[in-house]
Structure 1
């Protein structure tokens, strides 16, 4: 479960220190290499709820094995890629390949709780959260090490052994029970809302393509997204077994609030991860390995905070402290310049580690307790979708702020975007009274 769930965060973060070397090698500015970030998130934002729904219907084993096999193929394609276009294609394949890990883990925890009649201990959810955040934060350091040893292509090649290990462990250890639910194969096939999935995909793709390059000439993209979204809503409200049950989701306001918090939290998190890291390399002049080492306090603080608070079921206090930590870290970015000492960079990453450790854990626990038990996989997939929507906003903001060079002025522009998102996160937390009940009982909101 842990290995499968970390395949996505490791590929999300390891590329942070590789963007500048890739751009230099292939002659691409930051506005083009930003697609290496967005391609993975576009594929994952689309694939997570789809694969999560398939896991709810067919069980996690077969989806896990198929998806993690794609990770190895994507790693091979990226290692041998001759140009930026092929690299972007490899990142898309990575996005789809990493979709099954996290929903599979959440579905397995839920099914074991149903089978035994004992709720999953908070420690198990903490292990998943700590593993994901640990890998996410050490990703830049690992990326810097791999680039130093074998160049930027090594950041793609690392997926090959990880994929092999995940497939072997999955084949040997994942339970073979828990296949198709609710009757025979014909009933399960009928439960697959293919038109709903297609309209969901069209909505996401058109809106995110516009978000990545917003200009007047592309006016048709948001229009097409709105039309597809309206058609998706009509379809889901009429479908006997909808892909995303909008009636249930609409009546579950605590879960909707959690998704909204997730989106704005990850605007801040990924803006820091990609924007700050690129500035450290280009604006501050550190090497990729040095930029990766600067991120280490983020990892250490986040890990310590998660370990200390993970067994406490409540989430409201964690979210409030995380919200304040985000605002402090964003404000400190406005004080940085080309001559800022390394110790100040380390202080900024150290402070940013506090919300990194608290928010991820609290949001994951919220979804586990607020979602419909029959849709744990798809609810967990939607959590990741909103994470990646936030990352797409962050990627677009980073590309707009930096343009052709990661300058100090661009970093300050990005910091103002992050401050706005952080303030919204705080407001969404302060005024959500339902958070006091999260963790009391593992039932749908």
Structure 2
């Protein structure tokens, strides 16, 4: 990866970028969370048969990883800023290896759930620490913007998330569901070796603090209040069909306590004053939530409709949705290579309206080619939405807080995922019908209009090329 810089007298000097050796381990570490999020989808029934458990029990294998990730990503980002990003990155990889090994030999479902929690915590270190590593590299190499590396991280997450579902099915068919846990072990070994060999060491502790002064203690109460707030919020949003108002009230109380505590703490875990003053960053988090609410409604709601109304098998649905995921990665490549931030956000907003308009025409007799074509529009939403919003967070967050900021971006991604499951449940009820799909589509169209309304003001403040 090389970047050209214009110099006097018409000559062009080559400025070395981070390079593939620097980028590859970061891509691998950042990809472990999305791949573990999706790879288990095709194995839940087999796991239930092994442990004689129903869907209500096996679904915890999905929700616990989401919960651990939503809490863990900003926490790992904060630890990376304080303890050193490479150190936390490698520690996360080791935890992923432990979780994968435990899941491989798990004798019962509770042990398997514990393995998924460990996987959620371990994989949470990948993305925010990678962002801190890239930010520190960029600070030392100002002539070589890291846009290509940021794009590579986003595309790697998209590709692995798309491949997780078919990969899980193939692995489970070949060697049983336990292989979907074991696959983490060799990936972790490879990741640790590449990181130790190619990623620069963390600076000594004295260099990480101002004038060598001792760092202030970690904001443990803030971390605990943040974890409680996110956990109660996710559980409340998970079933709006039967809302548990006590959980909603608890969320409000914990959020109020979190804000009050963080406002009076010298070195807060979540700088609420910064978020209140940095309206551009707060708007980016809103865009992230809306973008992934749209995306997950298609991934989960449309696939359920295809199975129940169109009668497609799980493999057939996967093959029909796969072009959307592949197109998301392909359309991202030119935007990532040229660091086109604002165009990515504008195209995302436009596709968020065009896609739902097309979905309104869907019925149980819609031709397959039309289904594929419209779903590819949503590939623009998922692909360019990640590219644009990731670059926005990178630009808008303070340099010293980029780890927490990147982690919070992933937290809002999971909020979108949980909200999508509630919207799907409210719209479909007991069965995915054409009417239910259209109800979801109308809601998505409204969200797309909101996304179009809020994108221009936020995009205008961004640099065209970070």
Structure 1 residue 403 displacement after superposition: 5.2
CA deviation vs aligned residue, 1:46-102 (integer Å, no higher than 9, x gap): 111111011011111221122122222323344445665544443322211111111
**2:456 is aligned with 1:437:** no
Residues 1:345 and 1:100: Cα distance change in structure 2 (over 3 Å): same
**2:124 is aligned with 1:103:** no
Structure 1 residue 175 displacement after superposition: 2.3
Residues 1:261 and 1:217: Cα distance change in structure 2 (over 3 Å): closer
CA deviation vs aligned residue, 1:157-214 (integer Å, no higher than 9, x gap): 32232222222322333322335421699833x3411111111111111111111134
- Give the equivalent residue in structure 2 for 1:61: 86
**2:199 is aligned with 1:203:** no
Alignment of 1:296-307 (within 5 A): 296-307=322-333
The correspondence for 1:115, drawn from 140, 155, 162, is 140
- Give the equivalent residue in structure 2 for 1:28: 54
The higher radius of gyration belongs to 2
Alignment of 1:133-282 (within 5 A): 133-180=158-205, 181-182=208-209, 187-188=214-215, 190-214=216-240, 218-282=244-308
Bigger mean CA deviation after superposition, 35-44 or 211-220: 211-220
Unaligned runs of 5+ in 2: 1-25
Residues 1:314 and 1:341: Cα distance change in structure 2 (over 3 Å): closer
Q: Distance in 1 between matches of 2:407 and 2:333?
A: 24
Structure 1 residue 12 displacement after superposition: 2.3
SS in 2 for 1:118: coil
Q: Distance in 2 between matches of 1:406 and 1:33?
A: 21
Q: Distance in 1 between matches of 2:141 and 2:345?
A: 31
The correspondence for 1:330, drawn from 356, 359, 363, is 356
Q: Distance in 1 between matches of 2:266 and 2:417?
A: 33
Structure 1 residue 274 displacement after superposition: 2.4
Alignment of 1:381-392 (within 5 A): 381-392=407-418
Q: Distance in 2 between matches of 1:78 and 1:440?
A: 44
User: TM-score, normalising length from structure 1?
Assistant: 0.88
Structure 1 residue 344 displacement after superposition: 3.2
Residues 1:291 and 1:162: Cα distance change in structure 2 (over 3 Å): farther
The correspondence for 1:126, drawn from 128, 151, 156, is 151
Bigger mean CA deviation after superposition, 408-417 or 192-201: 408-417
SS in 2 for 1:310: helix
User: TM-score, normalising length from structure 2?
Assistant: 0.85
SS in 2 for 1:117: coil
The correspondence for 1:349, drawn from 356, 365, 375, is 375
Residues 1:141 and 1:412: Cα distance change in structure 2 (over 3 Å): farther
The correspondence for 2:316, drawn from 290, 294, 298, is 290
SS in 2 for 1:295: helix
Unaligned runs of 5+ in 1: none
Q: Distance in 1 between matches of 2:396 and 2:182?
A: 38
Does the 8 Å CA contact 2:86/2:133 hold for their aligned counterparts? no
Structure 1 residue 113 displacement after superposition: 1.5
Q: Distance in 2 between matches of 1:87 and 1:253?
A: 41
Bigger mean CA deviation after superposition, 412-421 or 129-138: 412-421
Q: How many residues align?
A: 438
**2:384 is aligned with 1:358:** yes
Identify which of structures 1 and 2 has the higher relative contact order when contacts are C-alpha pairs closer than 8 Å and 6+ apart. Answer: 1
SS in 1 for 2:337: coil
- Give the equivalent residue in structure 2 for 1:415: 441
Q: Distance in 2 between matches of 1:337 and 1:157?
A: 41
Structure 1 residue 314 displacement after superposition: 4.3
Does the 8 Å CA contact 2:74/2:407 hold for their aligned counterparts? yes
- Give the equivalent residue in structure 2 for 1:375: 401
Residues 1:217 and 1:373: Cα distance change in structure 2 (over 3 Å): closer
Residues 1:436 and 1:48: Cα distance change in structure 2 (over 3 Å): same
RMSD after superposition: 2.8
Bigger mean CA deviation after superposition, 76-85 or 390-399: 76-85
Structure 1 residue 141 displacement after superposition: 2.7
Does the 8 Å CA contact 2:76/2:129 hold for their aligned counterparts? no
Does the 8 Å CA contact 2:148/2:339 hold for their aligned counterparts? no
Structure 1 residue 151 displacement after superposition: 4.2
Does the 8 Å CA contact 1:140/1:295 hold for their aligned counterparts? no
Does the 8 Å CA contact 1:16/1:277 hold for their aligned counterparts? no
Residues 1:137 and 1:209: Cα distance change in structure 2 (over 3 Å): same
